[in-house]
């Protein structure tokens, strides 16, 4: 080793580098990196430099090992350790740059995929406006009454134990093999159903078993996929996940049971908007969405009774949850009640109900409770007919026209009566006259039968499917 090298070693020895001293101490004690350098040195001969060093050669090492001055040996070890650590840092930096390069390529690939997806989904304005179907594509409903429209999510809301999963199971059954739920037809799926059984999956399994036990095993194997428990990632934070799960299952329908397990913090608008994006991505790619959700805890009224939920604001969570749904139905009742109330809070077409629903817990079926068809109120009024206010009171409950809610209820009742007139199931027998304060009256329409005489009778569902009761 030259004198210049020795002086350079001594010069570096004066630097206050405590971390190096610590590393040297570990090297003396048999640190792995120091042993590694010794093994590397043992495989070399001659004057070739040590790997990672342009200064120290094997001969330098031999001279120091033969008669190492205490200070020089210590300095030499420090220098070797420092240069080996420099090589390791370079290697780590190279690995980091490789990872960044891979990440950049993956990101660019995702952007290209998003661009391709945009090109596929884009349509010209003429097609978007003028190629609409003449009738609303319906997954669950009959005629103008639609609970679940194709391409729009439906949300079934209610407290624990009011029959949300019971109804959902019946809809799943009908999606798999066809049929009706609550006397309304459900369209059969073209591929399959993914049921996200996230809220108490064991209870969901028992509920579905009551409705699907008679469905052949091969039909269930081919058409139904169940995911028990919460998803691997939050849907709001990872909006692509729900669509990817549907694709993995080969399903065109996803049942989310329930929303609180799909995303954490639903009352936060950012979370609500994130989940809505996950929902809309599914719908945009042809995957239908059926959701089960909970409502807010209801406070007490002045009489001490809990107030009845009747508005979208009564649904728990961010407003983006209901805003992004095409249809929202609420079930009102107590846990375990066999008879509950159905209210259609948000509708894609004509509202369905209000209805009273009766659950058969043993059979796992539900039916419209007798006497809740609003047409019955017109028919039972006979020749005298019924006013809008009376019809509203019997159908929707007493309405105060001095309040906004009351006026909305009366307007809804009038639209319902007018729809029966358009369907030729009723007629306005007394036109209303504001100048004389005479209310309009409606009566059931007379039907001519084969036999003598005329009777009041509702149109039979089987003979007039387009206008069911």
What is the secondary structure of 382-429 as a DSSP string?
GGG-EEHHHHHHHHT----TTSHHHHHHHHHHHHHHHHHHHTTSEEEE
Q: What is the pLDDT along the chain (469 residues), one digit of tens a residue?
A: 444 444 444 344 444 444 555 555 555 555 455 555 555 545 545 555 555 555 566 566 655 555 555 655 566 667 767 777 777 788 888 888 888 888 887 777 776 665 555 555 677 787 777 766 667 789 999 878 899 999 999 999 999 999 999 999 999 999 999 999 998 999 999 899 999 999 899 999 999 999 999 999 999 999 999 999 999 999 999 999 999 999 999 999 999 998 999 999 999 999 999 999 999 999 999 999 999 999 887 665 555 556 778 789 999 999 999 999 999 999 998 888 888 999 999 998 888 988 889 888 888 899 887 655 688 888 888 889 999 999 988 887 788 888 888 888 888 889 889 988 988 889 999 998 888 889 999 999 865 444 443 333 343 333 333 333 2
Same-domain status, 282 and 184:
yes
Give the end of a domain, one of 368, 388, 403: 368
Give the end of a domain, one of 317, 340, 368: 368
Q: Rounded CA gap, 138 and 119, in Å? A: 27
Residue 461 is assigned to a structural domain of this protein: no
Same-domain status, 75 and 48:
yes
Q: Rounded CA gap, 20 and 223, in Å? A: 66
Same-domain status, 361 and 380:
no
Q: Rounded CA gap, 39 and 51, in Å? A: 12
Tokens of 375: 């047409």
Predicted model pTM: 0.58
Residue 299 is assigned to a structural domain of this protein: yes
Same-domain status, 220 and 311:
yes
The CATH number of the domain holding residue 431 is 1.10.10
Same-domain status, 156 and 272:
yes
Element (H, E) at 202: helix 201-212
Predicted local distance difference test score (pLDDT) of residue 67: 55
Sole residue written with tokens 């009706």: 180
Same-domain status, 8 and 74:
yes
Residue 13 is assigned to a structural domain of this protein: yes
Tell me if residue 225 falls in helix, strand or coil: strand
Same-domain status, 362 and 379:
no
Look at the chain and report how many structural domains it folds into. 3
Residue 216 is assigned to a structural domain of this protein: yes
Q: Rounded CA gap, 422 and 416, in Å? A: 10
Same-domain status, 213 and 287:
yes
The CATH number of the domain holding residue 215 is 3.40.50.300
Residue 308 is assigned to a structural domain of this protein: yes
Same-domain status, 194 and 164:
yes
Same-domain status, 358 and 379:
no
Same-domain status, 329 and 379:
no
Beta sheet of 441-444, edge-to-edge order: 386-387, 441-444, 426-430
Do the Cβ atoms of 153 and 326 come closer than 8 Å? yes
Residue 398 is assigned to a structural domain of this protein: yes
Predicted local distance difference test score (pLDDT) of residue 56: 60
Residue 107 is assigned to a structural domain of this protein: no
Sole residue written with tokens 């509950």: 340
Same-domain status, 358 and 247:
yes
Residue 358 is assigned to a structural domain of this protein: yes
Q: Is the Cα dihedral 14, 16, 17, 21 positive or negative? A: positive
Residue span of the structural domain in which 205 resides: 138-368
> Would you call 469 exposed, middle or buried from its count of C-beta atoms within 10 A (0-12, 13-18, 19+)?
middle
Give the end of a domain, one of 92, 126, 159: 92
Element (H, E) at 344: strand 339-346
């Amino acid at each position: 080793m030259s004198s210049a090298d020795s002086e350079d070693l001594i010069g570096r020895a004066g630097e206050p580098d405590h971390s190096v001293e610590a590393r040297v101490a570990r090297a003396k004690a048999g640190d792995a990196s120091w042993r590694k350098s010794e093994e590397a040195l043992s495989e070399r001969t001659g004057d070739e430099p040590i790997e990672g060093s342009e200064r120290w050669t094997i001969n330098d090492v031999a001279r120091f090992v033969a008669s190492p001055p205490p200070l020089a040996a210590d300095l030499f070890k420090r220098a070797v350790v420092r240069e080996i650590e420099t090589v390791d840092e370079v290697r780590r930096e190279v690995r980091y740059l490789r990872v960044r390069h891979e990440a950049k390529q993956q990101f660019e690939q995702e952007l290209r995929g998003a661009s391709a997806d945009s090109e596929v989904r884009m349509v010209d304005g003429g097609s978007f406006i003028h190629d609409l179907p003449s009738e609303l594509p319906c997954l669950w409903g009959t005629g103008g009454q639609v609970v679940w429209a194709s391409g729009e999510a439906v949300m079934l809301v209610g407290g624990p134990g009011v029959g949300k999963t019971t109804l959902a199971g019946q809809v799943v059954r009908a999606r798999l093999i066809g049929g009706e739920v609550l006397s309304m037809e459900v369209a059969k799926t073209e591929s399959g159903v993914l049921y996200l059984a996230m809220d108490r999956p064991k209870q969901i399994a028992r509920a579905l078993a009551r409705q699907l036990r008679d469905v052949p095993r091969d039909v269930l194997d081919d058409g139904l996929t169940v995911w028990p428990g919460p998803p691997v990632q939050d849907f709001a934070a990872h909006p692509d996940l729900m669509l990817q799960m549907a694709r993995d299952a080969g399903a065109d329908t996803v049942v989310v049971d329930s929303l609180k397990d799909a995303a954490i913090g639903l009352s936060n608008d950012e979370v609500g908007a994130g989940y809505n994006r996950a929902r809309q991505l599914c719908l945009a790619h042809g995957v239908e969405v059926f959701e089960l959700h909970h409502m807010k805890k209801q406070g007490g009224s002045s009489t001490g009774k809990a107030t009845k939920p009747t508005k979208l604001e009564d649904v728990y969570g961010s407003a983006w949850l209901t805003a992004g749904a095409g249809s929202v139905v609420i079930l009102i009742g107590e846990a375990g009640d066999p008879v509950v109330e159905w209210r259609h809070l948000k509708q894609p077409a004509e509202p369905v109900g209000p209805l009273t629903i009766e659950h058969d817990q043993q059979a796992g079926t539900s039916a419209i409770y007798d006497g809740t068809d609003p047409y019955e109120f017109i028919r039972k009024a006979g020749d005298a007919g019924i006013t809008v206010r009376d019809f509203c009171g019997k159908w929707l409950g007493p309405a105060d026209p001095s309040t906004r809610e009351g006026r909305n209820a009366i307007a809804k009742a009038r639209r319902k009566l007018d729809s029966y007139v358009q369907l030729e199931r009723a007629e306005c027998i007394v036109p209303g006259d504001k100048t004389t304060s005479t209310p309009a009256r409606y009566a059931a329409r007379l039907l001519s039968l084969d036999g003598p005489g005329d009777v009041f009778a509702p149109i039979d569902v089987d003979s007039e499917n387009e206008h069911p009761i």
